[in-house]
Amino acid sequence: MKDFFKNVLASIVGVLISSFIIGAIVALLFFGFIGILLSSSSETFVLKNNSVLSIRLTGVMKDRVVSNPLLEIFNTGEAKEMALTDILSAIKKAKTNDDIKGIYINSGYFMASSASLTEIRNQLLDFKESGKFIVAYADDYTQGGYFLSTVADKVILNPQGSLNLQGLSVSPTFYKGLLDKIGIEMQIFKVGTYKSAVEPFILDKMSAANKEQVSSYINNIWSTILGNISASRGITVERLNQLTDTLPTFQEGEFDVKNHLVDTLMYESEVREYLKGLLGIDNSKKLNIATVSDMATVPDSQKSKSSDQIAILYAEGSIVSGSKPTDINDRYFIKEIEKLQDDDKIKAVVFRVNSPGGSAYASEQIWKAIEGLKAKKPVVVSMGDYAASGGYYISCNASKIFAQPTTLTGSIGIFGMFPNVEGLTNKVGLSFDNVKTNKFSDYGDITRPMNEQEKAILQQYIERGYKLFLKRCSEGRNIPLDALGKIAEGRVWTGKQALEIGLVDALGGIDDALKEAAVLANLSDYSIREYPKLSSPFEAFFNTQTEDLATRAMKEYLGTDFYLLKTIKDIKDLKEQDFIQARMPYDLQLK
């Protein structure tokens, strides 16, 4: 008994000491980050004459990024996320600012869709009209980095570097074999021959219909990418495909120069000397560099002060039911839409959609809010990397829709997945019994398979949801239901294909959508406001969720293996979301 109390007392003391140590660490982190926040807020960047805008491509690209000092504890020095909006803004300012003489693109390892890269590429082409130079360099060019960098006047590769040009592929992971082994059956209800998001849970390979649609859109994207490279480098698309099939990644640098894929080979130190030569400064002098984040504090000489405003409403991520300002939560987004609807200063709205879809119910709620907004002012959709399934649902009733040629959109279809874990419970020796008052009182019991009557009821429910989805798209796009049915069926289309079949109105980016919104609102001058309001670093510090820290830690641990992390997140998302989904199956990134 004495030993018992001694052990209890030791445990209590141990817990107290551990709690004190953890508390001290948290306090140190807290005050340390407060110091970082205060010091960073007092820093201002002064743009010097004869400067170069440096665009460093590394990490993962999103439409917008909130700076969060707390998450930087897991940062090894390179940016983990890039904001598309920050890059576009920096290029625009650089074009009209006399202190900026050119742009230097340093392409590292990063993940981005070709649609986002096209947006930047077009902004760089616009920048070149100023007569200023663009120089691109990489130790190793990814396909995305090379696609973007070919717009440069000089494309430079490290002498010992590589240039990745291998084409596109889609390789989904199938879970059916694993589920069979552990005794879990996924009961599937869907509408749409091409609605393939459920395939990994019920098949061990892609269906013929899925292979058909994937082959169609990746070949369309690849031809668009090569067309842009061809125009910039003066190499025919046929020749680019021939070079791709030699796997340039493993060829010597001289091979890339000989075949005009790059202009020259230089080490990074030599590139800096080359930039100094373009600026007309001595090698002994310092090269004045302005980063994308530096340019955020540089005044925009072209910014309008008009009281008439066009709002850009950003919707990025999965569509879910909820009220938190993360992803596209329906209740939170509806409140934002209602603010725009009631603000008389806002004359039009550009709805920036970058979503593979999600909850069918939440998509319908956002659709309804957009319908109310459009009744009072023009709404122009700008599609980003994805506006598919639920992402298309919330876009379809806009006044006009713009997409990039390689945007993935369409995927008009819905599905539901319900697990049956009876096999698993049998394996581990669990059994269950049931008493109920009504026929379907135990509906949703995952410890047994659904009976035929339950399956029929659920299939009817899914089909009713699909008919509503079709109705929304038909009315929004003014396409007869029978004609729409032929291009729906859950099929994914590129923006270029979507234009041909009437799912979008024009090809273009955010700027094109803004110009169209101004025309529809009869505005010759307007200022721009972005919504939802981004959190300040200080707010982000206090709003950091445990999951954010865990995700950042996993990214750091996994290094560049973003696909493993995304697979884990996708499974978690499906587990936590509504059973009825309008979601696109794949995430296509240039690597």
pLDDT given at position 22: 45
Question: Would you say residue 29 has pLDDT above 70?
Answer: no
Of the pLDDT bands very low, low, confident and very high (cuts 50, 70, 90), residue 49 is very high
pLDDT given at position 288: 94
The predicted-structure confidence for 34-48, as pLDDT tens digits, reads as follows 555 554 444 678 899
pLDDT given at position 104: 98
Q: Mean pLDDT across the stretch 379-394?
A: 96
For residue 489, what are the contacts with CB-CB under 8 A and spacing of at least 6?
A: 192, 193, 194, 195, 412, 413
Of the pLDDT bands very low, low, confident and very high (cuts 50, 70, 90), residue 15 is very low
pLDDT given at position 33: 53
Q: Mean pLDDT across the stretch 56-71?
A: 79
Q: Which residue has the higher pLDDT, 497 or 558?
A: 497
Quote the tokens at residue 387: 């506006």
Q: Which residue has the higher pLDDT, 571 or 332?
A: 332
Integer Cα distance of 156 and 266 in angstroms: 6
Integer Cα distance of 78 and 76 in angstroms: 6
Q: Which residue has the higher pLDDT, 18 or 309?
A: 309
Q: Mean pLDDT across the stretch 200-204?
A: 93
Of the pLDDT bands very low, low, confident and very high (cuts 50, 70, 90), residue 403 is very high
Start-end of CATH 3.90.226.10 domains in the chain:
51-166+247-295, 309-415+454-583
Q: Which residue has the higher pLDDT, 147 or 544?
A: 147
pLDDT given at position 80: 76
Strands 400-403 and 506-507: parallel
Q: Mean pLDDT across the stretch 472-486?
A: 96
- What's CA 136's distance to the chain center, in Å? 24
> For the domain 309-415+454-583, what is the CATH code?
3.90.226.10
Question: Would you say residue 574 has pLDDT above 80?
Answer: no
Q: Which residue has the higher pLDDT, 40 or 332?
A: 332
Nearest alpha carbon to residue 340 among 155, 105, 533, 204: 533
Of the pLDDT bands very low, low, confident and very high (cuts 50, 70, 90), residue 8 is very low
Buried b vs exposed e over 550-588: b needs ≥16 C-beta within 10 Å?
Answer: ebbeebeeeeeebeeeeeeebeebbeebbbbbbbbbbbb
Question: Would you say residue 28 has pLDDT above 80?
Answer: no
Nearest alpha carbon to residue 127 among 159, 93, 160, 150: 93
Angle 452-477/360-374 helices, nearest 10 degrees? 20
Determine the residue type at 174.
F
Question: Would you say residue 98 has pLDDT above 60?
Answer: yes
pLDDT given at position 6: 46
The predicted-structure confidence for 159-180, as pLDDT tens digits, reads as follows 999 999 999 999 999 999 999 9
Q: What is the DSSP string of 257-272?
A: HHTTSSSEE--HHHHH
Share of the chain above pLDDT 70, in %: 81
> For the domain 51-166+247-295, what is the CATH code?
3.90.226.10
Integer Cα distance of 266 and 53 in angstroms: 20
Question: Would you say residue 491 has pLDDT above 50?
Answer: yes
Question: Would you say residue 561 has pLDDT above 50?
Answer: no
Share of the chain above pLDDT 90, in %: 71
**Mean of all residue pLDDT scores within the chain:** 86
Integer Cα distance of 181 and 427 in angstroms: 10
Q: Where are the beta strands (DSSP E) in 302-345?
A: 309-316, 319-320, 328-329
**At which residue do the structure tokens 């992390």 appear?**
565
Q: Mean pLDDT across the stretch 62-85?
A: 68
Largest interatomic CA distance in the chain: 88
Indicate the range of 72-76, 110-114, 232-236, 368-372 predicted with least confidence: 72-76
Would you name the residues annotated as active-site residues? Answer: 195, 389
Confirm whether pTM is higher than 0.75: yes
Q: Mean pLDDT across the stretch 208-236?
A: 96
Q: Which residue has the higher pLDDT, 526 or 26?
A: 526
- Torsion 572-577-581-587 (CA) sign: negative
The predicted-structure confidence for 410-467, as pLDDT tens digits, reads as follows 999 998 888 999 999 999 899 989 899 999 988 889 999 999 999 999 999 999 999 9
Q: Which residue has the higher pLDDT, 392 or 587?
A: 392
Indicate the range of 28-42, 142-156, 228-242 predicted with least confidence: 28-42
